[in-house]
Structures are given as structure tokens and as C-alpha cells.
Structure 1
Amino acid sequence: MLGFSIYLDRPINGAQQDYIQTMAQAGFVQIFTSLHIPEMVNEALAQRFLDLAQVCQTTSLSLMVDVDAKTFKHYRQILEQAATYCQLKLRLDDGFGTEEMVHLAQQWPIVLNASTLTDELLTGFIEHGGQTKSLSVGHNFYPQPYTGLDSNWFQQRNRWLKQRALSISAFVPGNGSLRGPLYQGLPTLEQQRHQDPLLAAKALFDQMVDDVFIGDPQLVSSTQLAFKQYFQAHIVKLEVQLVSSKWRQVLGQHIWHNRPDVAAEVIRCQESRQLNQQATVLPEHCIARQTGAITINNQLYGRYQGEIQICRTELPADPAVNVIGQLTPAACDYLALIGSRIGIQLQI
């Protein structure tokens, strides 16, 4: 599932509420926030948290809140009140003993640190009467550059967690307002610090992560739309530069779909051969194909004439294949999103 972050260093006002609403409409179903802000242990923070819980109630969003032992003790009554508004998870930071975790898990779903969990802690949790159905794990985000998790270690760790049947959450950076004081993104993986949030989210889902949160306070509206189109409508928009304007109508009037049997080096537009079967495609512009080249098979390909493809890699020239367009460099990055049956809308 998809989630995003709302921080309590400013009021949950009209602009914040509007952003929460648009993110909910874009398919995000949960919010991450933190009460672990030592410099803000006061009534204003408590009120902002309750305001956020009430907004979650009106938008049908769940809420995950980061607490350490000290802040939990200070805000326990506020947390109990917030749980009457929306589904609430506690992400437990420092200071909690095993017995206390078990006790908390009887009242709330709890989230433990995915990167530091041990078999000893998990065994102790169960031996003290804890139920793993109320337990999940979450990786941290890392504000300081170069301190995010190593990708290989992350994958190994996630395999270990999945062997123990645990649900995993992690963070990707935003691309609107970044969170201070460093403003360098809030990713779990260092290699994703400056990556497109949609690409980063898809990569985490592919690495056994169940819940992906936007770590920073904002996604720009175009990226919100891209998330909605990909995760709800299963469509990717790709910007194309044409070789000739005669291909504008052919390419732009349809939503194409990658075939269910995914090819290694090209995306095969499933509908194209049937739609183009009445036309004769003469050999033209049969040049070497770059990554992101848009091609159509000409009459030399026999019954494969009319098939439109998008190149995932560089391919040599073929007298039976016409190059009719080229994805922009930014659009080429999105080729990684196009799996089985994913829709493709070419923007010309």
C-alpha cells in the first residue's frame, strides 16, 4: 500500500488538508507522522496530532505515528483519543522493553525497526504472549546524505524478514517541499535519494516491501497524478518525439498495452498488429535503434507487419523495422515501470 508523510511542525491547516485530500484521491491510504520531536513536547503538538487524526477520519486514511518511550508516556491519552478517530499504528522507537511491546500490541498494531530486529527480540515477544498478527516492521528514512541503506543489504534483510512472515514498510523521497534541516530527501535507500518517487516506489515494491511511504512532506501534483495513473489505472505516460508527423495519429490515439508475456529487450504493443493490419508499411528510416526508440515493423516482416514496439535497450538496424519516434530521456527512465499488461499512453 501507498502512504505519505505529514509532519507536525506546522498546523494542519487548509493547505495541508487540501494536500491530504489530493493524496487520498491519488490512491494513498495511510499517513506517517511523528510525535518524537523533543523540541516540541507541548500542547500545540498534541492538538496538531489530533487535528491530523480527525482529517484521517474524514478521508478514510490510517495513521502510523513514530514514538519513543518518553513521548509515548507523555502523549498516551492523546494517542488513545486519536485511535477513536482512525486506525492507528504505533511505530516504536527507542526505550521499549519486550513486555511493554507485548502490552502495547494488545491495544494497537505496532511497528518495530526492520533494520535492527533480531530473532531474540521476536522470540521474546512471542514468549511473553505477543501475537505476530499485530506486528509489522518498518525501515527508517535517512536525512543525511550517504547514510541511507545499502541496496544489497536491504534485499538480504527483507528476505530474512519475509521468512518470518512480517509485513515491511520503507520510505522514498518526495519531490516538492523537502524536509529540513538538511533538505536532502528522506529515503530508506541511499541510491534513491534523488530518484523519481514513482520509480523509487516501484523498486521498493519489487524488493518485498509491502507499504511504501513518501518520506518528505510533499509530492508535486504531476507526480501525484503519475502515481494515480500507474497504481490505479495501470497506465504510464511517455513523452515521444516523432520522426515524421504522419505517425502522430497512429501513435497518439490509443492506450497501448504491453503483452502479458514480457519480452526481454522490447515492449510489444499488444493491440498494434490488429489495428494496423489493413495498412501496408513500406520500409523507411530503418536505422539503429536507441533505448526508447519507437518502431513499427514494415512489410518485410510478413505477418508481424504493423507491430509497434518500444526498445528497452540499444538494438541494431533491421531492414524490416522502421524507427518512427524516440522517447525523451526522462521518459526512458519510466521504461522500468512497464511490466505485463501495463498500459502505455504516448504523449506527442
Structure 2
Amino acid sequence: MHSLGISVYPDKSDIKEVYDYMETAAKLGFTRIFTCFLSIPDDKRESYLKEFKGFMDKAHELGFVVAADTNPEVFKLIGATPNNLKPFADLGLDIIRLDGNFGTQGDIAVTRNPYGIKIEFNASMDAGVDLLIKNGGNKDQIIMCHNFFPERYTGLDFDLFQQFNKQWKALNLHTAAFVSSHNDPTIGPWEVFCGLPTVEIMRPLPIEVQARYLLATGDVDDIIVGNYPASTKELEALSKINFQALELRVDEVTEITDNEKYIMYEFAPHWDRYDHSSFMLRSSFPRLQFKNQATVQDSGFGDKKEAKEDKSIPHHDCGKKVFTRGDILVVNDNLAHYRGELEVVLTEIPNDGERNLIGKVKDEDLGLLDFIKPGQHFKFIK
């Protein structure tokens, strides 16, 4: 089950603005909040934590689950210990994210608290969570969340990010990662000028594209905006993410026909054949309607998709001798047996006149093609 989240820093922001932001996010389906106790000056922590209960009441009223970054010093400040999380429970906190540890027995103790508080460990490093579980940690109250990185070029390597997530998923642990808003200005726990993503190569991408890359790996459950505040437009874009099918943004060619638009958009979701080709993704089901003038075809899922009455797909010349990665093709009348099949080019192939170019995957989305495995659903966004 996927969730969307925001980060808020009430100690650094006008509380009414924070509440307005939370209300906007809640209306758009966001259900997680991340905040940080670590950045609050020592001389202000005690008074802030007394006020924090009001923030928690508002968050719960709006349906949010709240996680706060803590460390052993925060525990001392509020009178908590690994064996006594009542002070956190009194605040209403749902998740304690541990920045630091209490040793093996202490970490086991926090995961076995009687309040149902989830303990969130750092997913961006090998935190020894597997050994913790083997030694008696309560797996039911352990979850994972990655770091975010304020400094440009310091974010997590994407391959390492995936490697860590496979490790957590092998333990059947819930995972979360951060994407970054491009709103200006934004803040984080400290001064932030370059955003707060988990993965460095995601830093410059539109926020919803960042999220689609993280989700495409198949090993990330929750997506949280690291910096505050994201724009309403960004929150809306995240709220529209399709968790069931990988989506690719495309630019249509001017020559695209109504039948070709129908194949590209109305036949969604597409899926690559199980007998996968290294040259292209093949969505073959559309050709059942365009192969000949046969009557309506049943998809096998209880629905019938009507093609246009004219099932011809005349050849149109795009001027390219070679199709390149990300080109979206439809087989035309020159290969009538396969007419209507949609194909997405992975490796260069010659233009032999049997396929029409109907669109191109946007450059920022090309990397998503690597994550479409045989049988996996995908869709196109104009």
C-alpha cells in the first residue's frame, strides 16, 4: 500500500500557514507527515515539545500519521528511554525515526514498545536491521525511511538506493523515500537552497517524475516531499500519480491519426509481451482489432474495446531512417498481420516502412523504460 507524505517544520514556520498546507495536502490524499526534533535549539526544545501536542491533534484530525526525527539526546530531554516511550505516546507521535541508536538491547526495546509506535530506521545505510530482527527486534513495529540530502551532489546513488531497498524488501519492511519540491523558497530542518531529495540524480527533475522513478523500482512504498512547502501544483501532480501502472510522458508527432491516438491512449494499460524483445516493448493486444475487419474483440477482462470503423492505418513518413530509443510506433497497413501493434523502441532499428512514428517519450522519462518488465502495465501521458 502506497502513501504520499509532506514534511513540515512548525518551529520554523507560521503555524497557520503550516495548518493551511496540511489541509491542502489532506484534501489531495496525502496521509504522512515528517517533521524533525533534531534541528530545534536545545534551549527551545522543551517549550516546543509542549506545544507539539496541539500540532499532533491537528494532524490526526486531518488523517495524518506523523513521524519525527529523534536521537538519544531528544529522548533524554523529554524523559524517554528505550524501555519507556510514554513521553512520545503522550505527544501522540505515531513514528519515531531514530537518528542514532541505543545499542542492540536498547534498539530491541524501542521496537517492543507497548504503544504501537513504529520505529523507523535509516534506509540509506546498512543499519544492521536484519541482525536486530534476528536478535529479537519486533519486525511488526520496524519500518524504513531514507535520508534526504540538502547539499547538491551528495544524494544517494540510484543503484545503491535500489540495492538497499531490495535488502529491506527481502525482510518485508515498509520503505519510504523523499522527493524534492522546486518551489521557491522552501525550507528544511536547516537552511536549504538546493532541495531535499533522497536520490541525487532526481534533484533537478519535476517532482512527479522523481516520484515515478522511485516507484518504478518496485521497492518503495511511501513518497514524502522533503522540503516545505511544495506548491499546490506540485502536490496536485503527486496526487495524480498512478500507483498501478508506470506512466510515460510523451510528445505526439503532428502526423498522428485518430486511430493511432486511440491505440496509444484508449488501449491503456499496455503491457510488454512475456516473450520480450531487447529491441522494443510490444503491446500486441490492439492488433486484434486492427488486424482485419473482424467484429469487436473481448480483452478477456470483461470489457470490450471498440475500434474506429475504419481500421486502416496508412503509412506516413516521419523522415527518419532509423528509429531511436523512446520512439513510439504503431504497425501500419504495410504489415497488415500485425497492424495496430504498439511498440516502444529500446534499441535503434531501421525504418522499413512497416511502422508509423506516433510519438516520443520525453527525455527525462527515458530511464523509466528500463523498469518495464514483461507483463508490467504502462500508460502514456500526453
The TM-score normalised by the length of structure 1 is 0.79
Q: Which residues in structure 2 correspond to 1:184-203 (within 5 Å)?
A: 184-203=194-213
Q: Deviations over 1:44-71 (max 9, x none)?
A: 6336633432232122121111111222
- 1:181 aligns with 191
SS at match of 1:111: strand
Q: Is residue 217 of structure 1 aligned with residue 251 of structure 2?
A: no
User: Aligned-pair distance for 1:36?
Assistant: 1.2
1:285 corresponds, among 300, 305, 317, to 317
Closer, same or farther in 2 for the Cα pair 1:261/1:183, shift >3 Å? same
The answer (yes or no) to whether the contact 1:12–1:48 under 8 Å persists in 2 is no
Moved more, 297-306 or 263-272: 263-272
The answer (yes or no) to whether the contact 1:141–1:171 under 8 Å persists in 2 is yes
In structure 2, distance between residues paired with 1:236 and 1:14: 36
Q: Deviations over 1:106-142 (max 9, x none)?
A: 132212233142269616962xxx4222222333222
Closer, same or farther in 2 for the Cα pair 1:33/1:323, shift >3 Å? same
In structure 2, distance between residues paired with 1:305 and 1:208: 36
In structure 2, distance between residues paired with 1:319 and 1:118: 57
Q: Is residue 32 of structure 1 aligned with residue 34 of structure 2?
A: yes
The answer (yes or no) to whether the contact 1:257–1:343 under 8 Å persists in 2 is yes
- 1:243 aligns with 254
Q: Deviations over 1:249-306 (max 9, x none)?
A: 8527954414333555236385476325733222221533344434332211113223
Q: How many residues are aligned here?
A: 339
- 2:20 aligns with 18
Closer, same or farther in 2 for the Cα pair 1:66/1:146, shift >3 Å? same
SS at match of 2:177: strand
SS at match of 1:257: coil
- The AA in structure 2 aligned to 1:344 is F
Percent identity of the aligned residues? 23
SS at match of 2:310: coil
In structure 2, distance between residues paired with 1:162 and 1:295: 36
Structure 2: runs of 5+ lacking an equivalent: 81-85, 290-306
Q: Is residue 297 of structure 1 aligned with residue 331 of structure 2?
A: yes
User: Aligned-pair distance for 1:331?
Assistant: 5.9
In structure 2, distance between residues paired with 1:49 and 1:97: 28
Structure 1: runs of 5+ lacking an equivalent: none
In structure 2, distance between residues paired with 1:293 and 1:201: 23
- The AA in structure 1 aligned to 2:261 is L
1:109 corresponds, among 111, 114, 118, to 118
Closer, same or farther in 2 for the Cα pair 1:192/1:332, shift >3 Å? closer
In structure 2, distance between residues paired with 1:215 and 1:318: 48
The answer (yes or no) to whether the contact 1:280–1:299 under 8 Å persists in 2 is yes
In structure 1, distance between residues paired with 2:251 and 2:223: 30
> What is the aligned-residue RMSD (CA, Å)?
3.6
Q: Which residues in structure 2 correspond to 1:32-181 (within 5 Å)?
A: 32-39=34-41, 41-42=44-45, 45-46=48-49, 49-75=52-78, 79-83=88-92, 88-94=94-100, 96-105=102-111, 106=113, 107=115, 108-114=117-123, 115-118=125-128, 122=132, 126=136, 130-177=137-184, 178-179=186-187, 181=191
The answer (yes or no) to whether the contact 1:92–1:112 under 8 Å persists in 2 is yes
The answer (yes or no) to whether the contact 1:27–1:227 under 8 Å persists in 2 is no
